[in-house]
Structure 1
Amino acid sequence: MWDSCGWESQLLETGFLAIFLCPVWTLSQIPRRCPPSLICIWTFRWLIVRIMLGAGLIKIRGDKCWRDLTCMDYHYETQPVPNPVSYYLHRSPWWFHRFETLSNHFIELIAPFFTFLGRRMCMVNGVIQILFQVVLILSGNLSFLNWLTIVPSLACFDDKSLAFLFRSGAKKTVLEIQNEARAGRPPKPTRGILMRRVVNVSLAVLIGYLSIPVVMNLLSSRQVMNTSFDPLRIVNTYGAFGSITKERTEVIFQGTLAKDPKDPEAIWEEYQFLCKPGDVNRRPCLISPYHYRLDWLMWFAAFQTYEQSEWVIHIAGRLLANDSTVLSLMDHNPFQDRGTPRWVRGEHFRYKFSQPGSSRAAQGKWWLRKRIGAYFPPVDLEGLRGYFQSRNWPHPHIPQKKS
């Protein structure tokens, strides 16, 4: 499912640039006659510069907490899908959170310009950006986004700095190619090499032209993030966490077998997602570099209404029919082998990390939660028929048992 998020545009752009980085006429790991063009390398460097500047500028222009250095007081607890390390980092001292926020501004707003200050400073930026992504991987479940961001960061290093990664024979070949280039003895141009040069120059012109609205967006006080100005998403503008939610809320799906949902004796049982917070006793999960899209979308839905996220009602209808596709995206179905629920509702809760070392934590509670109210009222299959028809959704049906 492609839902126009920043990581998808970044994946498209990175994949597009990789086409021109790979050798065409040989399967050799080190193509001697036609090594990767410096133009291709710079397109990747330009990508990492835009990714980081976009993220840094949207923060400075967005939430006040990025300017008063308090955003990290909330981020670990309220990020889309926290991991176990997030639980402990959230309780770091206030001064450490201020240091984190200042470091974030330096990494995203200052370090990218090192790319244009010569070989050594470019490599410094590469080291900074890769270490930054590793920290993000360890402290949260931001899916494959951080791993993907490491890819253009590698372009900040040249062959000499990465020579230790090659076998001895390959390392010798790389050094010979570099020495020939420095001595002004490039390989004799062939028709294929000339064609490749034309393609590389054309790529530079294309990226430069498509970068104009992106740069204008970065300079604008009305900057938007995770947007493309061309239909193929070849050059995009990026950004993340321009605003930070100060409280974590969750939508919890509950079902019951009771005939009357208003019956005070009705037992409502909870569905558990693969990773997002639900059961307060369940340890936050580790999923990076994988990505559970439904869990992420539920994070967005929690600070909207079900009218703004109508797909939540679609999920409820599928749960009422014990739809195997939707249930495969969940960790626990309370009605497994017990038939189908008569009613499903959405409850809205506020979640907070428990205090490490407290009595609640000693009881195995990773989270504390408090009910806010109903997110959507109890619904049944028949009651949803008109709702589904008005939106041209296929009405779910309870699967018939095999005789």
Structure 2
Amino acid sequence: MFVSVLVVAFLVALHQNKQLIGDNGLLPCRLHLQNIKRYFGGKIGADAISYAPTLLWFLDWSHMDTHLDNIAWVGLAISTYILLTGCANMILMATLWILYHSLVGVGQIWYSFGWESQLLETGFLGIFLCPLWSLSRFPERTPPSRIVIWSFRWLIFRIMLGAGLIKIRGDRCWRDLTCMDYHYETQPVPNPLAYYMHRNPGWFHQFETLFNHFIELVVPFFMFLGRRLCVVTGVLQVLFQVLLILSGNLSFLNWLTIVPSMAFFDDASLSFLFSSREGSVKRQVSRMQTHKAGGWRPPKHYGGYIRQLVHLSLGVLILYLSVPVVQNLLKSKQIMNTSFNPLRIVNTYGAFGSITKERTEVIIQGTSSLNPNDPNAVWEEYEFNCKPGNLTRRPCTISPYHYRLDWLMWFAAFQTYEQNEWIIHLAGKLLANDISASSLMAVNPFQGKGPPRWVRGEHFRYKFSRPWGRHASDGRWWIRKRIGPYFPPISLPGLKKFFESRSWPLPLQA
């Protein structure tokens, strides 16, 4: 499961990194590294590397697109190999962890989501599940260390408890059980099932909220109450994540959260997955069970001693790095989705600490009119890949894939364009019919017919149409009402000083 998530993560990076953080991206990582270097005295020292851990510090910054592609390609190749063969070792897993860390380190706001840290922490623990050199599927006499298993359980404990506490301490609607009245409609990227789930009666939404609190605030403690309740914990956590996958497009977050949940199952509880035709697999698992049942035995080779020492060191490291994380969980002003160490080995987590009660969207429009204030000017809308826009377009189902720009547009809608300068960079690229920017869109109305003269951002309030109402009969999934302008009409010449002040190259018209 984890390697499948890695395949998707590197595929997303391959398809979107150049447009977002490449040489001509919306927030070029080259400028980001230069700013960090300048902040730390113009040197690439330990402080700069600690601030943004990435291999890109040691590569030629004049070919950033190539480096970003190479990192994504190598990560995709290794993770695909592991997925297809089922064979991995510590060296391959550590390589994947370093490669993805190199992207997160320069990803800026595009990689600022909690699941990026969660992927890194899960990947770090995954290194210690594997043998050092061997690529055998079931290396004999090397069952998973209890320290590693409990590290995964500690991870899912913090994920769920952190999410539950941030809700109870955050938005009042989580306490009065009304948050689910809004969530399906206002979540970042709704899917088709969310459209129908939104119309459930109020009592059902209250039950959903109570069930959420039970899963996040109560069930995590079951893992301390013996084997049977550990298995129950695993079942409930996996089912909960499946429900979240079905009702929303939360990137690969929920798929990734299933991974540490598997640490609650032992071989006996999973034996039903192996059919009689897989006798050899069952025999190998049986041998591993027998080895574990026989209790601890001194290793017969130096590799065994080294492995035990490594796992013991891992346990000490996890305990040490967990101290500020536990302190954060105990605070009334809890911080979510952050890390207190630069390598993001042990992190804080949380989700939807506040729920937006209304959905607003930024709709980007362009016109070929000479005068943007002309009441007869025809403004045509750009359509994003997945976020709401066209009222008749069915909500998409995209998870575990992740459109990073669509997610940031959701955040931008309840902020201002001054807080999201990249959106003006995007508008400038659209004014030039830039190919890379257009590749982030589902529909560019000016593709093939010359760039627009003006681009503007309009602010709308969106609501689900009623499945049985007149809007639904017209094929509309959404209804909307204009709030006002989000950013005023802008032209390419008018952006020159703005771009120069930020060292962004002025786009050339296609």
Q: Same fold (TM over 0.5)?
A: yes
| Correspondence for 1:96 among 183, 199, 204 | 204
Contact 1:23–1:36 (CA under 8 A) maintained in structure 2: no
Taking the aligned partners of 2:343 and 2:187, their CA distance within structure 1 comes to 30
Corresponding residue number in structure 2 for 1:215: 326
Corresponding residue number in structure 1 for 2:507: 396
Contact 1:33–1:187 (CA under 8 A) maintained in structure 2: no
Residues 25-67 of structure 1: per-residue CA shift (max 9 Å, x gap): 4222222122221111111111000000010000000000000
Corresponding residue number in structure 2 for 1:109: 217
| Correspondence for 1:63 among 156, 171, 182 | 171
Taking the aligned partners of 1:31 and 1:223, their CA distance within structure 2 comes to 42
Residues 275-334 of structure 1: per-residue CA shift (max 9 Å, x gap): 000000111001011000000000000000111111111110010011111100100011
Corresponding residue number in structure 2 for 1:315: 426
Give the structure, 1 or 2, with the largest relative contact order (CA under 8 Å, sep 6 or more): 1
Corresponding residue number in structure 1 for 2:403: 292
Taking the aligned partners of 1:383 and 1:170, their CA distance within structure 2 comes to 67
Contact 2:384–2:443 (CA under 8 A) maintained in structure 1: yes
Query: Does residue 341 of the first structure (1) align with residue 452 of the second (2)?
Result: yes
Corresponding residue number in structure 1 for 2:481: 370
Corresponding residue number in structure 2 for 1:268: 379
Contact 2:141–2:291 (CA under 8 A) maintained in structure 1: no
Query: Does residue 168 of the first structure (1) align with residue 276 of the second (2)?
Result: no
- The structural deviation recorded for 1:162 is 1.4
- The structural deviation recorded for 1:248 is 0.1
Contact 2:230–2:264 (CA under 8 A) maintained in structure 1: yes
Corresponding residue number in structure 1 for 2:51: none
5+ long unaligned stretches in structure 1: none
- The structural deviation recorded for 1:188 is 4.3
Taking the aligned partners of 2:238 and 2:149, their CA distance within structure 1 comes to 17
TM-score, normalised relative to structure 2: 0.77
Corresponding residue number in structure 1 for 2:496: 385
Corresponding residue number in structure 1 for 2:394: 283
- The structural deviation recorded for 1:70 is 0.1
Query: Does residue 73 of the first structure (1) align with residue 181 of the second (2)?
Result: yes
Residues 346-373 of structure 1: per-residue CA shift (max 9 Å, x gap): 0000000001111110110100000000
1:231/1:359 Cα in 2 relative to 1: closer, same or farther (>3 Å)?
same
Corresponding residue number in structure 1 for 2:102: none
- The structural deviation recorded for 1:17 is 0.6
- The structural deviation recorded for 1:186 is 3.7
Contact 2:464–2:478 (CA under 8 A) maintained in structure 1: yes
Greater CA deviation, 184-193 or 57-66? 184-193
- The structural deviation recorded for 1:183 is 3.0
Corresponding residue number in structure 2 for 1:15: 123
Contact 2:299–2:305 (CA under 8 A) maintained in structure 1: no
Residues 99-143 of structure 1: per-residue CA shift (max 9 Å, x gap): 000000000000001111111111111111110010000000001
5+ long unaligned stretches in structure 2: 1-16, 18-106
Contact 2:465–2:479 (CA under 8 A) maintained in structure 1: yes
Contact 1:12–1:233 (CA under 8 A) maintained in structure 2: yes
2:433 is paired with a residue whose SS is: coil
Which structure has greater helix proportion?
2
| Correspondence for 1:46 among 133, 154, 178 | 154
1:16/1:264 Cα in 2 relative to 1: closer, same or farther (>3 Å)?
same
2:494 is paired with a residue whose SS is: coil
Greater CA deviation, 264-273 or 389-398? 389-398
- Paired residue type of 1:89: M
Taking the aligned partners of 1:180 and 1:57, their CA distance within structure 2 comes to 40
Contact 1:160–1:175 (CA under 8 A) maintained in structure 2: no
- Paired residue type of 1:169: S
- Paired residue type of 1:179: T
Greater CA deviation, 246-255 or 305-314? 305-314
